[in-house]
Amino acid sequence: MLLWVGLGNPEPSQARHRHNIGFMALDEIARRHRFSPWRKRFKGEVAEGMVAGHKVLALKPLTYMNASGEAVQPAAAFMKIPPAGITVFHDELDLAPAKVRVKLGGGAAGHNGLRDIQRALGSPEYWRVRLGIGHPGHKDRVHGHVLGNFAKVDEPWLANLLDAVADAAPNLAEGKPEAFMTRVALLTQETP
């Protein structure tokens, strides 16, 4: 079994925040691949499904971003999923909007959700799907940027990105991060 975690904040007023793109990605994967209905468990919401023949437990922590590990660690422990079987979908300031990168391990790069997951698991060796939201240009504007709603002008690329991530999800389930990134890149290219 794989554990796929989308990061975000649980308040309905925050649903369209850039910080919640991880929740949005997981919602689209669960919808596209016909996961079970969401239900409360592990201090979050979970849904189960199959992606490319692999059983996936999708988890959206309801602990707020900075305490995401409080949901991830108990889910991983109960399901006996090692860190390398965990994939976290999260917002990434250092990537242009709609760009996606996948990596195993590494630091939190200032992302409090990742920092808390690493603390709770006792290991940085889990997969990260970094979903580009762009940088506002100055560090003083970062807080407002990530905790602000996507603008109307962002809606087309955002919808396209979420659709591409769900379409390419089988590559992730099969342990092919390069193929996943390539597929997402192809699907999100602007048509002339």
Catalytic residues: 19
CB 44 within 8 A of CB 62: yes
Provide the 10 A C-beta neighbour count for residue 4. 28
